[in-house]
Chains A and B, each alone.
Chain A
Amino acid sequence: MLFKTHGNKQLKIAIASGKGGTGKTFVATNLYSVLQQNQVSSILIDCDAEEPNDHFFFKSISKTNKEVQVNIPVISTESCVFCDKCHEYCHYNAIFYLPSLQQIHVMEDLCHSCGACSVACEHNAITEKKKTIGTVTTYLLPGNYKLIESRVNIGVYSPVPVITSAIKEAEQQGIIILDAPPGTSCPFIHTVNNADYVVLVAEPTPFGLSDLQKTIAVLHILEKPFGIVINKSDIGTLAMSDFIQKENYDLLLSIPFDRSVASFYSEGKIMAEREEKWKEIFENLIDKIIETACK
């Protein structure tokens, strides 16, 4: 087993998928369970801040919360001379400005905390306050293992600051598994950009193939090495495996559909803890990942 001798070298592996519901969390939680069972120094970070679900799969001893805050400007109407400069500097239309009625204020939901308005203001009318946009929760698991969860508050413009805070929490050696958010935009990019290697979990359906291709396009831009896990490999079509073969991508694992696995998983349980067969499947997967990531 390669991963047992991987030692304390840090390796960050992101588990991602363009399409939601392909089994990304299934792979991430089972991989982490196998690492724990083999006493490998490792940590799991749930970067799907909009819908973090990894915590359902592990019994925790305790948890600690840390609020994630951003700076939001506050405009003092007493000092403000209504010069329009902050309004002009704001790229996000977050400053409501109506000089004829001497009205100016910040629309917090639109603000990206870039600080441009503070720089723009020449009359010291802008100060900043803290606004909580989410939480990073560290769950302590048996054996001194940890699950770090990012969770963004509802309606916040971007979960990225919460995701990056969660990743920063894990300043330790060993194998770090990042359960990435779905999609191909900023939250996904900021997660996989922090990883050394990306595992893409895909379903062999026409929708799944299209999303896989979009995700790969982003990984090419970011120049990230990756491998593919086909989940529910026996349903759908062969177009995906043909595509992977044609492009010469690394196929790490194919998992056939099993209804009993789906039911077991639905209750927040881990196959690699229930059946030796599944434990081996994920031990082999982690080996294959290390082999491909380090080649």
Chain B
Amino acid sequence: MQIAIISGKGGTGKSSITAAFASIEKNVVLADCDVDASNLYLLFTPTHNEERAYVGAETAIIDNNLCISCMKCWENCRFDAISYVNQKINISDVACDGCGLCARICPTQAIMMQQHDKSRLYSGSFRYGKMVYGVLAPGEENSGKLVNEVRSKANIIATENDLAITLIDGPPGIGCPVISAIANVDGVVLVTEPTLSGFHDLKRIKEIADNFRLPACVIINKFTINEKISSEIEAWCKKEKVNFAGKIPFDLVMVEAMTQLKTIIEYQPNGTITKKLKEIYNYIKLNINKQTN
């Protein structure tokens, strides 16, 4: 069973909740698909059994010695990446999308495409099973391809080690990386918070889950920050027929646990939040099972 935990809005506590689920389940494949800001490895310090370079985008580079200033590249670039300054063609790394058209049409072969291979995919073991995570190099394009690589590696590991549950910590937002993180999972968990922003983002992310016809469960984190909005979210779940898995009160103990590099389950094994999260996790598993059978 593959469960993806996503949130739309950042900072709702998605990663802390994913980590808690891993320590409840105890034997999982954990796939950190928030490749832009992967953090779970900080908490779980997994072994690195495998490190693989991920070749992401390409960018064009120009050899000005070969360039004859014919301006063909400049005319055809749709990304405003090419400029002509001091009688020299200049290609902006930031603006270049890596489409490769300029390199193809340059009559003097002055333009080369350079591959970026600084991003990494890691896999190894941690205290609750196996872990896979991607680290996107600073400034790389997050098209969802690295997320796909993390997912397929996680699938291989799950089969090889006969691990029944894969937990996927998804990226924020509603773009391609999120879609890659939830494609073909058995269920998604939507973590929200009781703020106008959190509620708004929940609606956007639910639309994506619906597009993929995925069973979805909602968790409201820090619900005591605004109980009015929290009950509005609950009412909305009811109306939209989204399964409501439960709500967790705001408590600084969540932050304390993280600063000690522990999950909340490890930090307070008998605490109220631990108890609540166990209930929520069981509810989610049951629910996904029910809907996939």
Partner of B225, one of A116, A232, A262: A262
Measured between C-beta atoms, what is the minimum distance from A134 to chain B in Å? 11
B234 in the interface, Cβ–Cβ < 8 Å?
no
Q: For B211, what are the chain A residues with a Cβ–Cβ distance below 8 Å? A: 154-155
Size of B's binding interface in residues, CB under 8 A: 58
Stretch with Cβ within 8 A of B (4 or more), from A96-104, A182-190, A286-294: A182-190
Chain B interface, DSSP helix/strand/loop, else mixed: loop
Contact: A116 with B208, CB < 8 Å? no
Partner of B173, one of A21, A182, A210, A267: A182
**Cα separation A89 to B105 with both chains bound (whole Å):** 11
Contact: B229 with A112, CB < 8 Å? no
Q: For A91, what are the chain B residues with a Cβ–Cβ distance below 8 Å? A: 58, 98-100
Q: For A155, what are the chain B residues with a Cβ–Cβ distance below 8 Å? A: 174-176, 179, 208, 211
Partner of B138, one of A116, A214, A267: A214
Of B94, B97, B138, which is in contact with the most chain A CB atoms at under 10 Å from its CB? B138
Contact: A19 with B201, CB < 8 Å? no
Which residues A106-123 have CB closer than 8 A to chain B? 112-116, 119
Which residues A1-38 have CB closer than 8 A to chain B? 18-22, 25
Contact: A51 with B8, CB < 8 Å? yes
Contact: B101 with A89, CB < 8 Å? yes
Partner of B250, one of A157, A259, A265: A259
Contact: B207 with A154, CB < 8 Å? yes
Which residues A128-169 have CB closer than 8 A to chain B? 152, 154-159
Stretch with Cβ within 8 A of B (4 or more), from A58-66, A170-178, A215-223, A271-279: A215-223
Proximity bits, B27-39, A CB within 8 Å = 1, else 0: 0000000001101
On whether A152 and B37 interact (CB within 8 A), knowing A19-B11, A268-B196, the answer reads: no
On whether A205 and B259 interact (CB within 8 A), knowing A183-B172, A262-B225, the answer reads: yes
Contact: A205 with B258, CB < 8 Å? yes
Measured between C-beta atoms, what is the minimum distance from A279 to chain B in Å? 22
Measured between C-beta atoms, what is the minimum distance from A111 to chain B in Å? 10
Stretch with Cβ within 8 A of A (4 or more), from B63-71, B124-132, B139-147, B271-279: B139-147
Partner of A157, one of B76, B98, B143, B172: B143
Contact: A51 with B259, CB < 8 Å? no
Contact: A207 with B258, CB < 8 Å? yes
B166 in the interface, Cβ–Cβ < 8 Å?
no
Q: For B139, what are the chain A residues with a Cβ–Cβ distance below 8 Å? A: 184-185, 189, 218, 221-222
**Cα separation A18 to B171 with both chains bound (whole Å):** 12
**Cα separation A150 to B140 with both chains bound (whole Å):** 22
Contact: B226 with A50, CB < 8 Å? no
Partner of B201, one of A53, A206, A267: A53
5 extra interface residue pairs, beta carbon distance < 8 Å, beyond A50-B175, A206-B258: A22-B11, A50-B172, A182-B37, A210-B39, A236-B255
Query: Can you give 19 A-B contacts (C-beta < 8 A)?
Result: A20-B9, A22-B11, A53-B200, A53-B201, A89-B100, A89-B101, A91-B100, A155-B175, A155-B176, A182-B10, A183-B142, A185-B142, A186-B142, A193-B94, A210-B37, A210-B39, A232-B255, A266-B195, A266-B229
B156 in the interface, Cβ–Cβ < 8 Å?
no
On whether A185 and B101 interact (CB within 8 A), knowing A19-B11, A207-B15, the answer reads: no
A56 in the interface, Cβ–Cβ < 8 Å?
yes
Q: For A190, what are the chain B residues with a Cβ–Cβ distance below 8 Å? A: 94
Q: For A227, what are the chain B residues with a Cβ–Cβ distance below 8 Å? A: none
B78 in the interface, Cβ–Cβ < 8 Å?
yes
Q: For A18, what are the chain B residues with a Cβ–Cβ distance below 8 Å? A: 36-37
Contact: A154 with B138, CB < 8 Å? no
Q: For A152, what are the chain B residues with a Cβ–Cβ distance below 8 Å? A: 174-175
Measured between C-beta atoms, what is the minimum distance from A118 to chain B in Å? 9
For B198, the closest partner residue in chain A by CB is A266
A79 in the interface, Cβ–Cβ < 8 Å?
no
B136 in the interface, Cβ–Cβ < 8 Å?
yes
Contact: B175 with A20, CB < 8 Å? no
Q: For A181, what are the chain B residues with a Cβ–Cβ distance below 8 Å? A: 173
For B36, the closest partner residue in chain A by CB is A183
5 tightest A-B CB contacts, nearest first:
A20-B10, A21-B11, A114-B99, A266-B195, A185-B142
Q: For B46, what are the chain A residues with a Cβ–Cβ distance below 8 Å? A: none
For B100, the closest partner residue in chain A by CB is A91
A248 in the interface, Cβ–Cβ < 8 Å?
no
**Cα separation A231 to B10 with both chains bound (whole Å):** 15
Contact: A56 with B200, CB < 8 Å? yes
A76 in the interface, Cβ–Cβ < 8 Å?
no
Q: For A182, what are the chain B residues with a Cβ–Cβ distance below 8 Å? A: 10, 36-37, 172-173
**Cα separation A158 to B194 with both chains bound (whole Å):** 28
Partner of A159, one of B43, B175, B200, B250: B175
A283 in the interface, Cβ–Cβ < 8 Å?
no
**Cα separation A122 to B176 with both chains bound (whole Å):** 32
B238 in the interface, Cβ–Cβ < 8 Å?
no
Measured between C-beta atoms, what is the minimum distance from B86 to chain A in Å? 19
Which residues B136-188 have CB closer than 8 A to chain A? 136, 138-143, 171-176, 179
